[in-house]
Amino acid sequence: MTGTAFAGEGLDQRRRKLLFRSWHRGIREMDLILGGFADTGLATLTDAELDQYEHLLELQDADLLAWVTGTQPVPAAFDTPLLKKIMASRAT
């Protein structure tokens, strides 16, 4: 498995960059979590959600992975509807 099968056709430049960054994380687990979410969810995110997503992509993979897997509580500042969407996308 090398990453997305979705090449980003139809996405604007900002979303294509986010798609690439989602699939090219520091650890494979986060590639799969964020990349999978990006494949299916990026096209429908609002500008405000895109801002939040960009901010999440700046965080350390270890922190994100701990929050998404539930091994650490999500800090209030990051406990957003967008993070909940990402977490919910793992279950589908």
pLDDT by residue for the chain (92 residues), tens digit each?
445 555 567 789 999 999 999 999 989 999 999 999 999 999 999 999 999 999 999 999 999 999 999 999 999 999 999 999 999 987 65
Q: Which of 54, 56, 55, 18 is nearest to 38 (CA)?
A: 18
Instruction: Locate all alpha helices (DSSP H) within the chain, ordered by sequence.
Output: 13-23, 28-41, 47-57, 61-69, 81-89
Residue 42 one-letter amino acid: L
pLDDT of residue 92: 57
CB 53 within 8 A of CB 33: no
CB atoms within 10 A of CB 44: 8
